[in-house]
Chain A
């Protein structure tokens, strides 16, 4: 039976939670500013309300504890006790215990924590501190005034001291009052005190100490003492001299001479506080206390009389002065101390969901009115009433929608509340590991879905623990490598686009990639060969594997290799992802990203027969249509060759056990979906477009159903089910793995060549290797990976390429070269060449034919689309006319340009050994000065390689990339590590020139072939400059005379749609005419 506090439990827990947060926040502040009464008051208040509410629900022990805390704080408030680290610690302990109790209650158990020890401890501290206070009173020569004195001894300057100070000041030395705070834990404090005094004695003259030097020798002494000090040394020197081990704080107040009327007075200046190990100076609000010569009572509050005869009063006045000073302090920087408190009503997420449901219903119910309105309009004569009805109805619908989005927004919560929790964690962890760590929090105000907020704590906790334990180095180690001794950990949150990013950054030692590699091999996650072929990013991903830990020793909190796995899992559950950036010795950055809201997601709606299903857009890679004839079946499993990749297919109709409505001759819509590293094609009957949907769980009233992620209610009130892509992909993979084992045998039995290759590398890999490894393995036919990749490999030779309907055409590298004379340059990797020859030696002719067919189809499609675009009107007619070029000529040039571009893409694909997409070439006539703008970003640096067209026709070929891409291309060409190149070396230049040479020539070849003219390419020249300059160089080089130019522009893309660059063809107008003419005659004669 769950423990409960009765009907007020919920309210109590809610309140207690708030007070705990309050307490936590204030405690941390208090540690930094132990003197701030405001904070004490806040803690006092929290303790007080906790006491009442605990008593109210019958938690007497808790109430007692809170009461003790209150007592303790009361003591501090009224000055009978001062804040010591001991007190701060005990308050922290109380906080922990209270937290424990609240947690226990919240989890439905009876709290049985024994609090008596803590209560006793507080009692002991109270007694001790008060005694200490009294002790000091006794020691101090001053008879105490009205109030109880604090632990800080009073500065009492008698006539002689004043005289000495004045003399010193008049002699040009400076005078200050130094308050030294010694750690409570320190043994033999008097030794420390003596040490400080002797250190200071070296750099100046000690006028007096409070308590007196004699009293300071007593081991019973208080841990705070004051020194009045005359010196010529700087404050910095004083700080250094006083900075003895276990002195945790030093306050320095200068004493100056001021004149008031004809009286010379001593005045205390601002107090400078040095705390912590680095003792950074911090300005304390001024405590201006003046010690003047004998005079009347000053009318200014902060000035005190120093008549020795009235020592008692004097003391009293001093107290007053100090108090006022404190009050002044409060006034000057209250905004710093006060944590912004929002006016908040706590609402359970269930209630919000309920509201959201009802509002959704309202929106749907409202749509019913429209029907009604239509009906009424038909039968009613009363136009006015009908119109009134309509406007009211519309108003209502608007309100309902506003309400809906308003409630959606309510689910969004600032992440600050999660972040602030970690301040304490970092403080404790840092202490535990004896490291100096500073946590910086940024972007607290970033709002996230409540569901993410509720679950994000755990992954962040793991990341932060790791950061402190493994990420950061000890102070000594940091010092050795020249970093600041304090390690910095940053928690940052921000929104970008549709995503929220949360970063955990440390400036520690970074991830050790070699260690990860070694562990990965040790644990059998990958073979050394695979590792060698993997990107760094994929290698870092290993740390997310369950049980993966590179830690040499397992500590209490980390090193077991569970944490990172949990991080990954939780983040994936929230539809998010984790990425790692790290540099050895420099630090690590973990970036978690989440969709802004989980309540509403964009989805692609698909239909099988009449049933509607939603696929979350985040899982969708693309949607295509393929003819059914392109599907190949292997052992009952359907696959299609999509741009050289084998894509496993899953018929949604089969998955949901429904007959498909598609006729065999229909082209099939396929939604290519991906999860993790895998992707499959989902065959559906109809694509119904994109829609924002609200996710509802099936578990709430039923349970998880395989293949379904939930349900959503559509505008008409009907339910649409949301597909769970990850489970569908898993099912396909499981089936495929089964298949591949059978297929494996079959391949071994039937295929000699394959068998030999397999024999070379028999070690099976259990876990699916990361994507790049698979890719690599596929590429290297000699080291195939058993499993899915293997099946695909075995299959690839039987699969013909699909003709997809897509605006971008695609070419694959793996096809053997179309024209034998089209030399494949040395850039092409050897492996790939081997793959091509080894896997498909017998069917080369067939494939060639198929490639031809595919290309022809593509060209036809291009032509069709171009025809439609050109027929819809030509805006540049005027320019065409000025160049004396007809529309027909342009169109024909376009055709030939298309072929050239296709050819170029093919060559490029071969050289880069990557699939290359190209945009449909655009032929345009434009003013020369507009060319740069037409191509790209005129303010960016580009690399352009230009090549003259020589022979019977003239012009320029320009292959142009953005600088960054240029470097990437160079990397690709040389097969070096990505992002290695960052400057254009001679080698890089020649690589780009060679590339352009090949690509450009493939265009020119087409022209030559089609026109029968003698055309050749000139030498490629490289220009690395701003776009404008690149273009200008061409114009200069080729002596363009006209105001207008004909430009053919094709953009090439990597398969992830990242642009590579543009290929431009700038034929001279006369040449273009010749080309067209020759082409015609050539075609005619064919």
Chain B
């Protein structure tokens, strides 16, 4: 992913990034996450996995799919599934509001939309401030968690994207 694409993404997020901050992105010691808040807990998605962020689009329901699959959307001719992150994490459904966003991520060569209540901000943090998921986080299964980032007083749960679409289904069906 080159810098220009990154910049594009930043602009979509309506974030201001100064010149020296850009340099930081490319440095290995820092990571950037797109963060969103769900039931008072802040989650982060590695910005390198984020394709783009959309307002709530028209979603076509996918019958016979697991309930956390909200449906499919048309992303410039691509049909991509949208995961309702609330349901995926076992939270109750929420109303769709003006703030509802779809974070389109790329994982395992697939594009997946994550439907979240809001997108909070882009957070930079040092790589070494991210701890492995030791303690159990209430409500969210460990499989989705890559680590827990600490930024001053804030705790941000960094999500593991590769599992968000498939893992539980496989378990549920009993096929591996």
Bound pair: A and B? yes
Fill in one digit per residue for B94-135: 1 if any A CB lies within 8 Å of its CB, else 0: 000000000000000011100000000000000000000000
The reply to whether A698 and B63 form a contact with Cβ atoms under 8 Å apart is: no
| Residues of the B chain whose Cβ atoms lie less than 8 Å from the Cβ of A358 | 76-77
| Residues of the A chain whose Cβ atoms lie less than 8 Å from the Cβ of B61 | 611
User: Is A702 among interface residues, defined by CB-CB distance under 8 A?
Assistant: yes
Find residues 683-715 in chain A having any chain B CB closer than 8 Å to their own CB.
696-698, 700-703, 705-708, 711, 713
The reply to whether A700 and B110 form a contact with Cβ atoms under 8 Å apart is: yes
| Residues of the B chain whose Cβ atoms lie less than 8 Å from the Cβ of A705 | 62-65
Pick the contact of A719 from B60, B76, B110 — CB < 8 Å?
Answer: B60
Nearest CB in chain B to that of A721: its residue: B60
Q: Give the contact stretch, choosing among B9-17, B78-86, B143-151, B156-164.
A: B78-86
The reply to whether B63 and A655 form a contact with Cβ atoms under 8 Å apart is: yes
The reply to whether B73 and A713 form a contact with Cβ atoms under 8 Å apart is: no
User: Is B72 among interface residues, defined by CB-CB distance under 8 A?
Assistant: yes
User: Is A657 among interface residues, defined by CB-CB distance under 8 A?
Assistant: yes
User: Is A658 among interface residues, defined by CB-CB distance under 8 A?
Assistant: yes
| Residues of the B chain whose Cβ atoms lie less than 8 Å from the Cβ of A703 | 166
| Residues of the A chain whose Cβ atoms lie less than 8 Å from the Cβ of B81 | 698, 701-702
Pick the contact of A698 from B72, B74, B76 — CB < 8 Å?
Answer: B72
Q: Which of B78, B80, B81 has the most CB of A within 10 A?
A: B78
The reply to whether A721 and B62 form a contact with Cβ atoms under 8 Å apart is: yes
With A656-B64, A708-B62, A720-B60 already in contact, the answer to whether A702 and B76 are too (CB < 8 A) is no
| Residues of the B chain whose Cβ atoms lie less than 8 Å from the Cβ of A711 | 60, 72, 79
The reply to whether B110 and A718 form a contact with Cβ atoms under 8 Å apart is: no
| Residues of the B chain whose Cβ atoms lie less than 8 Å from the Cβ of A357 | 76-78
The reply to whether A701 and B111 form a contact with Cβ atoms under 8 Å apart is: yes
The reply to whether B74 and A718 form a contact with Cβ atoms under 8 Å apart is: yes
User: Is B34 among interface residues, defined by CB-CB distance under 8 A?
Assistant: no
Q: How big is chain B's contact interface, by range?
A: 20 to 34
User: Is B58 among interface residues, defined by CB-CB distance under 8 A?
Assistant: yes
Give the number of chain A interface residues (Cβ < 8 Å): 28
User: Is A184 among interface residues, defined by CB-CB distance under 8 A?
Assistant: no
CB distance from A780 to the nearest CB of B (A): 39
The reply to whether B64 and A702 form a contact with Cβ atoms under 8 Å apart is: no
Give Cα distance in the complex from A184 to B60, angstroms.
71
Give Cα distance in the complex from A718 to B57, angstroms.
10
User: Is B50 among interface residues, defined by CB-CB distance under 8 A?
Assistant: no
Fill in one digit per residue for A570-611: 1 if any B CB lies within 8 Å of its CB, else 0: 000000000000000000000000000000000000000001
| Residues of the A chain whose Cβ atoms lie less than 8 Å from the Cβ of B74 | 713, 717-719
User: Is A361 among interface residues, defined by CB-CB distance under 8 A?
Assistant: yes
CB distance from B35 to the nearest CB of A (A): 24
| Residues of the A chain whose Cβ atoms lie less than 8 Å from the Cβ of B112 | 701-702
Fill in one digit per residue for A829-863: 1 if any B CB lies within 8 Å of its CB, else 0: 00000000000000000000000000000000000
| Residues of the A chain whose Cβ atoms lie less than 8 Å from the Cβ of B33 | none
User: Is A955 among interface residues, defined by CB-CB distance under 8 A?
Assistant: no
Nearest CB in chain A to that of B77: its residue: A357
The reply to whether A708 and B60 form a contact with Cβ atoms under 8 Å apart is: no
CB distance from B32 to the nearest CB of A (A): 24
User: Is A563 among interface residues, defined by CB-CB distance under 8 A?
Assistant: no
CB distance from B157 to the nearest CB of A (A): 25
| Residues of the A chain whose Cβ atoms lie less than 8 Å from the Cβ of B78 | 357, 696, 700-701
Fill in one digit per residue for B149-176: 1 if any A CB lies within 8 Å of its CB, else 0: 0000000000000000110000000000
The reply to whether B62 and A701 form a contact with Cβ atoms under 8 Å apart is: no
| Residues of the A chain whose Cβ atoms lie less than 8 Å from the Cβ of B72 | 698, 702, 711, 719, 721
Give Cα distance in the complex from A357 to B73, angstroms.
14
User: Is A360 among interface residues, defined by CB-CB distance under 8 A?
Assistant: yes
| Residues of the A chain whose Cβ atoms lie less than 8 Å from the Cβ of B79 | 696-698, 700-701, 711, 713, 719
The reply to whether A360 and B62 form a contact with Cβ atoms under 8 Å apart is: no
Give Cα distance in the complex from A106 to B63, angstroms.
38
With A701-B78, A701-B80, A701-B112 already in contact, the answer to whether A718 and B63 are too (CB < 8 A) is no
Give Cα distance in the complex from A245 to B78, angstroms.
66
CB distance from B58 to the nearest CB of A (A): 6
Nearest CB in chain A to that of B61: its residue: A611
| Residues of the B chain whose Cβ atoms lie less than 8 Å from the Cβ of A658 | 63
| Residues of the B chain whose Cβ atoms lie less than 8 Å from the Cβ of A700 | 78-79, 110
Give Cα distance in the complex from A668 to B117, angstroms.
41
| Residues of the A chain whose Cβ atoms lie less than 8 Å from the Cβ of B58 | 717-718
Fill in one digit per residue for A718-737: 1 if any B CB lies within 8 Å of its CB, else 0: 11110000000000000000
CB distance from B72 to the nearest CB of A (A): 6
Fill in one digit per residue for A357-371: 1 if any B CB lies within 8 Å of its CB, else 0: 110110000000000
Nearest CB in chain B to that of A655: its residue: B63
The reply to whether A707 and B110 form a contact with Cβ atoms under 8 Å apart is: no
Nearest CB in chain A to that of B106: its residue: A701
CB distance from B84 to the nearest CB of A (A): 14
Give Cα distance in the complex from A389 to B9, angstroms.
33
Give Cα distance in the complex from A1049 to B72, angstroms.
54
Give Cα distance in the complex from A97 to B73, angstroms.
48
| Residues of the A chain whose Cβ atoms lie less than 8 Å from the Cβ of B76 | 357-358, 361
23 inter-chain pairs at a CB distance below 8 angstroms, sorted by A residue, are A356-B77, A357-B77, A358-B76, A358-B77, A361-B77, A611-B60, A611-B61, A655-B63, A657-B64, A696-B77, A696-B78, A698-B72, A700-B79, A702-B112, A705-B63, A705-B64, A707-B64, A711-B79, A713-B74, A719-B72, A721-B60, A721-B62, A721-B72
- Nearest first, the 7 closest Cβ-Cβ pairs linking A and B are A357-B77, A656-B63, A719-B60, A702-B81, A701-B80, A711-B79, A701-B110
Given contacts A358-B76, A701-B112, 16 further A-B contacts (CB under 8 A): A357-B76, A357-B77, A360-B77, A656-B63, A698-B81, A700-B78, A701-B80, A702-B110, A702-B112, A702-B165, A705-B63, A706-B64, A707-B63, A718-B60, A721-B62, A721-B63
